[in-house]
Structure 1
Amino acid sequence: MRSSSSSPRLLNRVPWASSYPAAVALALLALTPFLVLTTATSLMRQPLMEQLGATPFELQLAVGLSNAGYAFGAVAAADLILRVPRRWVYFVCEGGFVVAAALALIAPGIGLFAPALVMLGVFTGILLVVSLPPLITRHGVDRLPTTAAVISLGLFGMVTLGPLIGGLIGSYGGWRLLFVGVTALSALGLTIGVLTFEHNEPLRPGARFDWYAIPPAVLATALPFFGVAWLTRGQFASVWFWLPLVVGVLTAVVLVGGQYWRREPLMPVRPISNTLPVTGIAAAMVAGATFTTLIELTEAYLLAGPRYSPVRVGGLLTAQVVGIAAAALLVRRLMRTRWLPVMALGGLLSVAAGGILLLTVSPGNASAIVPAAAVFLGFGAGAGVTPALFLAGLSVPAPAIGSIFALVELLRSEAAFLVGPVLLHLALDKGIEDGFKFATAITLTITLVGASLLVALFALGTDRLHPPDLDAWVTGKQGAYRSPPLLARLRKS
C-alpha cells in the first residue's frame, strides 16, 4: 500500500512506487555489486595482497567471512522485518553498503579492507530478503515469470561476469577502480530506493529478538568459513580447520531443527519439509556447491598449469553467461507450468556435463574445452538455483516468502562457498595437474550421486506434477504448490 501520511518529508514521497522497472532496478542494484565481488576476488588476489600488505590467510579469511556475512545477513533480515518496516531496513543497509564500499576503496591495508568486505556481505544478505519479496509479490502474477527470469539473469549473470572483471584486475591492476564502481552503483541503488520503496508496516511489531535463531546463525556461518580459511596456512589435520568446521555445521543443523519444532519460528521450516521444496532446496545446495567448486578448480588449473594470464582465464569462463541466459529464458517459460521441479533437477545434470568436459581438459585444448564447459556450468547454476528459490517460496503463503528466502540462502551459501576451498586445497596438495583431475572427479561424483538421490526422493514423494496456483498464492492465504510429504508413495504402500 502507498503511504497515507501527509508528511512533506522526502522519504515519504515515493513517485515510482508502482513502477515495475524501478523495482527491478532497486533489487538488482542492491544485490549485484557484492555478488560480482564473490567471484572476482579469486583472480585478483595478487594485486590485493601486494597493495594491502595481506597474507593469503588474511585475504582468504576476509573473503570467507564476507560470504558468511551474506548468509548471516539473510537470517538477520528475517528477524529485522518483523519489527522494523522493510523500507527503513533498506535505507539503513543500502546506506551502510555505500559507506562500507567507500571504506574498502580507501583502505590502506587489510585491517580496514577485511571488516569493510564483511559488512558488504552482511548488508547484501539483508538487502536480498528486504528487496526481492516486494518485487515478487507486489506486481501481479502475470509478471512473476519475467521476475523469475530477471532474478536468474541479473543475479547469476553478474556472478558469471565476476571472473572476467577479476581477470582484468589480476592482469592489469586497478582494484580500487572496481570499488569506485561498487560504491557508485550502491549509491544509485539508494537513490532509486528513496524514489521507489513504499512505506510498509512491520510484519509483527511486538515480536522480540529471536535468541534461538540469531546467535546460532552467527556461529553457523562464521565458524565454518574461518575453518576453511585456515587451510591457506595449515593442513586438513589441523584442529583449527576441522573443529570450527564441525562445530559450525552442527550448529546449523541444530538451528534448522530448532526452527522446525518451534511454534512461531523465524524461518518456517515445517511448511517446506515436504517433497517439492526439499528436493528443490537440496538441488540448489548441490548445484551451487559443485558449480562454484568447478569454477575455482578451473581457475587454479589454468593459472598454474598452462599458465594463462588472469584476464585470459576470466575471458574463457565468461561463456557461462550464455548458459545463464538460456536458463533465465527457460525459467520464464516454465514458471507457470508443472515442469519447474524437473528443471531444478535438470540443472544438476548440466553441471555434471560441465564437469565431464573439464575432466578432458589439457594445456593443448583448454581454450576450446573450458568455454564449452562454462556454458553447461552457467546453465546448471541458473537452472538449479532459481527454480529452487521459487519452489520453496511458492510452497508457503506470499507473506512468508522473505523468511523462506533467508533459509534457502543460508543453506545454499554454506554449501556453495565451503566445498570449493576445501577441494581446491586438496587439488593443490596433490599437484595441480593430478590434483585438478582428482578434485574434479570428486565434484562430479558429488553431483551425480546428489542428482540420483534427489531423483529417487522426488519419485518416491509424488506421482503427479501440477502447475502452481499463483492466483491463490498471491492472496497470502495459501501456498501455490500442494506438495506431498516426503516418501509419500512409500507411506501409502
Structure 2
Amino acid sequence: MRFRSPSTRLFTRLPLAGNYPAAVALALLALSPYLILTTATVLAEPQIMEGIGATAYELQLSGGMSNAAYAFGAVLAADLVQRVARRRIYLICECGFVLSSMLALSAQNIGMFAAGVVLQGLFTGMLLVAALPPLITGHPISRLRTTAAVVSLGLFGMVAFGPLVGGLVGSLGGWRPLFAGIATLALIGLVIGSLTFEGNDPPDRRAKFDRSAIPLALGTTALPFFGVSWLTRGSFSDPEFYLPVVCGLACGVLLVGGQYRKARPLMPVRPISNTLPVVGTLNAMLVGACFTTLLELIEVYLTREARYSAVRIGALLTPQILGIFIAALLFRRLMSTRWTPYLALCGTAGVAVGAAILLAASTSSASVTVPVAAFFLGFGAGAGVTPGLFLAGFSVPAAQIGPTFALVELLRSEAAFLIGPVLLHLALIQGLADGFHLAVGITLGITVVGALSLVALYLAGGARPEAPDLVSWHAGTSTAYHSPALLAAVRKH
C-alpha cells in the first residue's frame, strides 16, 4: 500500500506493494475482527460470564470501555501519524491486537478479559486512521468507487455479521475459540500488511503532542461510556451515571470548540463546519446511533422475552448483511455523482422503516417481522453512515481525510454507544413486553425528527446537488465538495 508523501526518500520495495487486492485485504483485516466482536459477544455473554466469573455490570463496563478506547484510539492515531510513519503504527497496532486477543481468550478473570478487549478497541481505532486513508488515497482514482464500497462493508458489514457469529458461539459455548479465530484473522492481516504496507515520511516529525485535544478526547470517550455502563447496576438518578455523562459531554464540547478555534488543529473542525459535511456527519451520527440501539433492543427482547436461542436470533438478524451489501453497491455507483446526499437520506429512511416494522413485532411474530426489519436496518446503516463519512472526507483536502475520519468516528461512536444503553435501560425498567416497543418508538421518533431536521439544515444552507470533483481531490489540489456555509440561504435573505 502506498501513501503519497512529498519526500523523495526511498523505501524498500515490498512484494505486494501497490497490489490493490492485498491493500483491500489489509484494511478489512485491520478493522473487521474487532467490529465482528462488538455485536458477536452480546449473544455469547452468558458463556463469557460463566467462563470468567464476571457479573453483567463488569462485562458491560468492559464493553463500554472497549468502545471508548476505539473512539479515543482514532484521535490518538491522528496525532501520531503526523510524526510517526504509518507503517510503524500499523505494525505495532496489529501486533498489539493479536496479543490483546490472546489475553482475552486466555482470561481467567474479568481483569484479564477487560484489559484484552479494551486494548482491542484501542488498537482498532488507531488502525482505522493508520490503514484506511492510504487505501483511499494511495491507489488510482479508478479504484476509488470500489474502495468506498469496501469501506462500507468493512465498517458495517462486519458489524452485521457479528450476531450470526455470536449466535453460533452462544449456542455452542465456544467463546474462547471465537477470540482465537479473531486473533488468527488479525495475524493473517499482519502478514499481509507486512508485505503490502509501504513506509512513508511523516508530514511533520517536529509536530508536538496535542496537550489539549488528547486529554479532552479521553474524557469525551471514557467518562460517558462509564456512566452509561453504570445503568446495568444502577439507575438514572445515580450520580455515577449522570455526572460522568455530563462531564464527558462537556469535554466533547470543549474538544470540538477548541479544535475549531485552533490555527493548526489536530482535527479539521473548521473545514467541515459547512453545510454538506455537517449534514453528512450528523446523518452518520443519527443513523449509527439508531441502528446500534435497535440492534441491541432486538437481541435483548428476543433473548429475555421471546426466549429464542442465540443461534436463532443470529439467523433472524442475518438479512441485515444483504441490506448492507446492497447499500455498498449503490454507494459504489453513486459516489461520484450528485446523488450521495440523497443516498444518505435514504439510509435514514431505511432505519425509520426498520423501526416502524419492529413496532409490530411480538414474541409470536418475531420470526417474520425481525428479518424484514433487519434488512431495512442493514440497508439504512450502509446507506446512511458511509456516505455521510465521505461527505465530510471529500470536504477537506485528501491529506486530511485521516483526521476527518477520526473526528467523525469519535462523534458517531459517542452518539451510538450513549443512546443505546439508555433506551435499553428504559425498556428494562418498564418491562420488556411494553418497554421494548416504547424504546423502539422513541428511536423511531428520533430518526424521523432527525431526518427532517437534516433536510431543513440542508435547504437552509442553500446547497445544491453537485458531483464531487474527485480528480482535483485525489490529486491534492482542491477539495471535492465546495459547500455553502451553514444557514447561508437564511442569512442571505
Please say whether Structure 1 and Structure 2 have the same fold, judged by a TM-score greater than 0.5: yes
Structure 2 CA distance, aligned partners of 1:23 and 1:169?
30
Deviation at 1:143, TM superposition (A): 1.0
Structure 1 CA distance, aligned partners of 2:63 and 2:306?
26
8 Å Cα contact 1:13/1:195 also seen in 2: no
Letter matched to residue 377 of structure 2: L
Deviation at 1:154, TM superposition (A): 2.9
Letter matched to residue 405 of structure 2: F
8 Å Cα contact 2:463/2:483 also seen in 1: no
Structure 1 CA distance, aligned partners of 2:88 and 2:291?
35
Aligned to 2:231, the other structure's residue is in SS state helix
Residue in structure 2 matched with residue 225 of structure 1 by the alignment: 225
Letter matched to residue 140 of structure 1: P
Question: What's the RMSD between the two structures over aligned residues?
Answer: 1.3
Deviation at 1:41, TM superposition (A): 1.4
Deviation at 1:477, TM superposition (A): 2.3
- 2:269 is the alignment partner of 1:269: yes
Q: 1:231 to 1:463 in 2, by over 3 A?
A: closer
Structure 2 CA distance, aligned partners of 1:5 and 1:186?
30
Structure 1 CA distance, aligned partners of 2:299 and 2:9?
54
Residue in structure 2 matched with residue 59 of structure 1 by the alignment: 59
Aligned to 1:406, the other structure's residue is in SS state helix
Residue in structure 2 matched with residue 158 of structure 1 by the alignment: 158
Structure 2 CA distance, aligned partners of 1:65 and 1:157?
23
Structure 1 CA distance, aligned partners of 2:390 and 2:254?
25
8 Å Cα contact 1:289/1:417 also seen in 2: yes
8 Å Cα contact 2:77/2:129 also seen in 1: yes
1:432-453, Cα deviation, whole Å (9 max, x unpaired): 0100010111000000000000
Deviation at 1:180, TM superposition (A): 0.9
Matches within 5 A, 1:130-141: 130-141=130-141
Letter matched to residue 411 of structure 1: L
Aligned to 1:362, the other structure's residue is in SS state coil
Residue in structure 2 matched with residue 319 of structure 1 by the alignment: 319
Moved more, 21-30 or 340-349: 340-349
Structure 1 CA distance, aligned partners of 2:308 and 2:68?
30
Q: Which runs of 4+ in 1 moved over 4 A?
A: 1-7
Residue in structure 2 matched with residue 243 of structure 1 by the alignment: 243
8 Å Cα contact 1:473/1:479 also seen in 2: yes
Residue in structure 2 matched with residue 40 of structure 1 by the alignment: 40
Deviation at 1:462, TM superposition (A): 2.4
Structure 1 CA distance, aligned partners of 2:345 and 2:485?
18
1:78-127, Cα deviation, whole Å (9 max, x unpaired): 00001101010101111111111111111111110101100000000000
Moved more, 63-72 or 12-21: 12-21
Deviation at 1:6, TM superposition (A): 7.9
Residue in structure 2 matched with residue 402 of structure 1 by the alignment: 402
Structure 2 CA distance, aligned partners of 1:450 and 1:6?
50
Deviation at 1:186, TM superposition (A): 0.7
Residue in structure 2 matched with residue 430 of structure 1 by the alignment: 430
Residue in structure 1 matched with residue 309 of structure 2 by the alignment: 309
8 Å Cα contact 2:463/2:484 also seen in 1: no
Structure 2 CA distance, aligned partners of 1:96 and 1:153?
24
1:37-75, Cα deviation, whole Å (9 max, x unpaired): 111111111001001110111100000000000000000
Structure 2 CA distance, aligned partners of 1:304 and 1:117?
25
Deviation at 1:172, TM superposition (A): 1.6
Structure 2 CA distance, aligned partners of 1:6 and 1:205?
17
Residue in structure 2 matched with residue 347 of structure 1 by the alignment: 347
Structure 2 CA distance, aligned partners of 1:350 and 1:454?
15
8 Å Cα contact 1:16/1:22 also seen in 2: yes
- 2:96 is the alignment partner of 1:96: yes
- 2:111 is the alignment partner of 1:114: no
Aligned to 1:381, the other structure's residue is in SS state helix
Task: Tell me the matched-pair count.
Answer: 489
Matches within 5 A, 1:194-233: 194-233=194-233
8 Å Cα contact 1:280/1:345 also seen in 2: no
Structure 2 CA distance, aligned partners of 1:409 and 1:53?
33
TM (norm. structure 2) is 0.97
Structure 1 CA distance, aligned partners of 2:135 and 2:83?
20
8 Å Cα contact 1:83/1:207 also seen in 2: yes
Residue in structure 1 matched with residue 413 of structure 2 by the alignment: 413
Residue in structure 1 matched with residue 181 of structure 2 by the alignment: 181
8 Å Cα contact 2:460/2:486 also seen in 1: yes
Letter matched to residue 436 of structure 2: F
Aligned to 1:270, the other structure's residue is in SS state coil
Structure 2 CA distance, aligned partners of 1:457 and 1:62?
37
Q: 1:364 to 1:474 in 2, by over 3 A?
A: same
Residue in structure 2 matched with residue 447 of structure 1 by the alignment: 447
- 2:279 is the alignment partner of 1:279: yes
Deviation at 1:155, TM superposition (A): 2.7
Structure 2 CA distance, aligned partners of 1:4 and 1:194?
22
TM (norm. structure 1) is 0.97
Letter matched to residue 254 of structure 2: V
Aligned to 1:271, the other structure's residue is in SS state coil
Q: 1:463 to 1:4 in 2, by over 3 A?
A: closer
Deviation at 1:362, TM superposition (A): 1.1
